[in-house]
């Protein structure tokens, strides 16, 4: 069935996402017109997902719709911003109505949860490629930047780490350790395909965190961005890495490698001055303290015997890396 | 040469575009942080260019960089917005330094001209695909929308029409009428590959135009958006269509078909109440009055003998059309 490009976004997406009063003019003109609140900064981030790079060609379109928006919502969470609007540039090999319905439904469910409205889009014909730009607000000078972690700050992460990486390794390398059951694999695949952006932590973190980043490339690679921008180092206690029940079944060396180096978890990593840790009580069950910022510019991993090793964090996942 | 994805945007783009005071935090964090001016609305638009759909695989990367930003600046012009910031999602089959240098130089030249700053980006590996989202400002209630043309308003277009379409037809269909010289083809190709967004007209149009759109899909297709949103019709005088010297050499029927139906010119089409036409004097040499908005909901073409024909504007270029 041939469908006009003009109506694709309108037909499949426009009515599904949140409705906000600050959208003066939505989809259907040369630009959307949006009203920014006073005393706030606009936070924007764009992410692209490409078939066979960021997702498998056989992925369920409903989960793909979810993930496409989730990874961008995660950037807003990492910045301490409240979601407001997004745009969608969708390149499709063909107009497949069943696919579009499922993809848009997955996207819209998450959009409504986070009160974020689709305000513009572009659809073109070509190899499947999804670019989403999100916009959010953050009160002036309240953003969680990467460059303000201080010596002595404690390092926290949300959730558990390495789950998405385990699922990816299972799929890519036929890696299938005997310890893991079918239920474990289902859980891990869910973590890979349906990541939960941690925007619900933001309110509690405001005023209490000095730096933050979301873990998309791997804990060490992402923490390293904080360290290089803030000009300091860190000690991570390996035995404090939060692991899921599934990963806990694996040999510790294997599980911790996944937790340290694999991406796609979309958990938050953030730093908190020791004096403010008590303020995190409302989210204490969702976060783990895994180490400390140090003045020495090195990233050191410490095991439970106290043994330390330096780590080159530039080994995280990197699409154009060597 | 392998290059880290993290540094691609930083290395090739970050330093080249405009520098603006309202960018609190640019490239290099989870989000950019931007300061919106009070009493203004934010105008945003996203456009994607895909290889072999929007440009030929052998296009000069410098001109491609120009065009990628030009088509989005054109949307800001059509909305009456002043350019401010943009983001770039670039999907590349490989890291080709020569290509990146030329592409970014073409993009940056235009960005500096229009004082628009790159504030974020994402680079991924895949089939060549360029998504640019632009952000601009427009004073509250001063935007040029599509839905406010009134019966009796005069219809104007900027520049000349059909040039890009002629170049495209030449390339795609080996169409090569004897009337056109090598210089003509060079001019026409330049119009296709290096469109000039009409942001310089915006200041004069402010307060004087009731509706506007940029001509990306063809005059009739784009004017039809104004008519359907505003709930009225139009009469277009075929002999008033502005044609370049090159197109004037062609049989009139051929030239006017190009001017009416071919896209990619990125000129503006806008409506002006008769009482305000005199205010357009500063740009009089850059625009042409081609017709009038009517109460009757039809798009009518009138030739110099007064003969009229109805037109179905839904025949403009449409990527997913039948």
Q: What is the pLDDT of residue A314?
A: 52
Q: Are B98 and B140 a contacting pair, CB within 8 Å?
A: no
Q: Please, what is the average pLDDT of chain B? A: 91
Name every chain A residue with its beta carbon within 8 A of the beta carbon of B33: 41-43, 79, 138, 143
pLDDT band at A312 (very low <50, low <70, confident <90, very high): low
User: H/E element holding A102?
Assistant: helix A97-113
Give the pair of three-digit tokens for residue B111: 């960005």
CA distance B189 to B55: 12
Within 125-164 of B, beta carbons closer than 8 Å to A belong to 125-127, 129, 131, 133, 135-136, 138, 143-147
This model of the complex carries an ipTM of: 0.90
> What one-character DSSP code corresponds to residue A146?
S
Does residue A313 have a pLDDT over 60? no
Sequence-ordered list of residues with C-beta below 8 angstroms from that of A311, at least 6 positions apart, any chain: A220, A260, A299, A300, A301
Q: Are residues A32 and B54, on separate chains, in Cβ contact within 8 Å?
A: no
Q: Are A41 and A92 a contacting pair, CB within 8 Å?
A: no
Q: Are residues A320 and B28, on separate chains, in Cβ contact within 8 Å?
A: no
- Superfamily the domain A5-139 falls into: PurM-like, N-terminal domain (3.30.1330.10)
Q: Are residues B31 and A213, on separate chains, in Cβ contact within 8 Å?
A: no
Give the pair of three-digit tokens for residue A100: 């579009």
A156: nearest Cα among A281, A268, A310, A306: A268
Give mean pLDDT, residues A148-165: 97
Q: What is the pLDDT of residue A237?
A: 96
Q: Are residues B145 and A4, on separate chains, in Cβ contact within 8 Å?
A: no
Chain B: give the shortest CA distance to residue A132, in Å. 9
- pLDDT (tens digit per residue) in B140-181: 999 999 999 999 999 999 999 999 999 999 999 999 999 999
Q: Are B197 and B159 a contacting pair, CB within 8 Å?
A: no
Q: Which residue, among A28, A30, A217, would best test binding to B if mutated, counting the most B CBs under 10 Å from its CB?
A: A30
Q: Are A69 and A111 a contacting pair, CB within 8 Å?
A: yes
In chain A, residues under CATH classification 3.30.1330.10 are: 5-139
In chain A, the residue whose alpha carbon lies closest to the alpha carbon of B217 is A6
Sequence-ordered list of residues with C-beta below 8 angstroms from that of B221, at least 6 positions apart, any chain: B261, B263, B313, B314, B315, B316, B317, B318
- pLDDT (tens digit per residue) in B190-234: 999 999 999 999 999 999 999 999 999 999 999 999 999 999 999
Q: What's the distance, Cα to Cα, between the start and end of chain B in Å?
A: 43
Instruction: Tell me how many degrees the CA angle B319-B103-B173 measures, rounded to the nearest 5.
Output: 40
Output the 3-class SS for A105-145: HHHHHHHHHCCCEEEEEEEEECCCEEEEEEEEEEECCCCCC
Tell me the CATH class for B154-310: alpha beta
In chain A, residues under CATH classification 3.90.650.10 are: 154-310
Q: What is the pLDDT of residue B11?
A: 81
Q: Are residues B319 and A124, on separate chains, in Cβ contact within 8 Å?
A: yes
CA distance B73 to A252: 53
B17: nearest Cα among B92, B103, B82, B75: B103
User: H/E element holding B294?
Assistant: strand B287-294
pLDDT band at B16 (very low <50, low <70, confident <90, very high): confident
CA distance B145 to B209: 9
Q: Are A42 and B40 a contacting pair, CB within 8 Å?
A: no
Q: What is the pLDDT of residue B306?
A: 84
């Amino acid at each position: 069935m041939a469908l006009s490009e003009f109506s694709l976004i309108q037909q499949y997406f426009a009515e599904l996402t949140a409705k906000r009063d600050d959208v003066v003019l939505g989809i259907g003109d040369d630009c959307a017109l949006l009203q920014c609140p006073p005393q706030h900064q606009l936070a924007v981030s764009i992410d692209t997902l490409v078939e066979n790079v960021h997702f498998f060609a056989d992925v369920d379109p409903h989960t793909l719709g979810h993930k496409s928006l989730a990874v961008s919502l995660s950037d807003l969470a990492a910045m301490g911003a409240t979601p407001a609007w997004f745009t969608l540039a969708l390149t499709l090999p063909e107009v497949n109505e069943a696919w579009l319905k499922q993809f848009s439904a997955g996207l819209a469910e998450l959009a409504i949860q986070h009160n974020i409205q689709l305000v513009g889009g572009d659809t073109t014909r070509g190899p499947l490629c999804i670019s989403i730009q999100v916009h959010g607000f953050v009160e002036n000078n309240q953003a969680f930047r990467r460059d303000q972690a201080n010596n002595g700050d404690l390092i926290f992460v949300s959730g558990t780490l390495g789950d998405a990486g385990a699922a990816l390794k299972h799929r890519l390398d036929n890696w299938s350790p005997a310890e893991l059951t079918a239920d474990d694999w289902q859980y891990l695949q869910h973590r890979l395909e349906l990541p939960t952006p941690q925007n619900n932590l933001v309110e509690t973190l405001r005023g209490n965190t000095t730096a933050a980043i979301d873990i998309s490339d791997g804990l060490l690679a992402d923490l390293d961005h904080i360290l290089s921008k803030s000009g300091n180092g860190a000690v991570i206690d390996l035995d404090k890495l939060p692991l899921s029940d599934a990963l806990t079944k694996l040999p510790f060396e294997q599980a911790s490698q996944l937790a340290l180096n694999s991406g796609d978890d979309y958990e938050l990593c953030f730093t908190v001055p020791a004096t403010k840790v008590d303020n995190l009580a409302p989210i204490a069950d969702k976060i783990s303290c895994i180490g400390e910022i140090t003045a020495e510019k090195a990233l050191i991993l410490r095991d439970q015997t106290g043994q330390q090793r330096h780590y080159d964090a530039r080994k995280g996942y990197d699409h154009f890396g060597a």
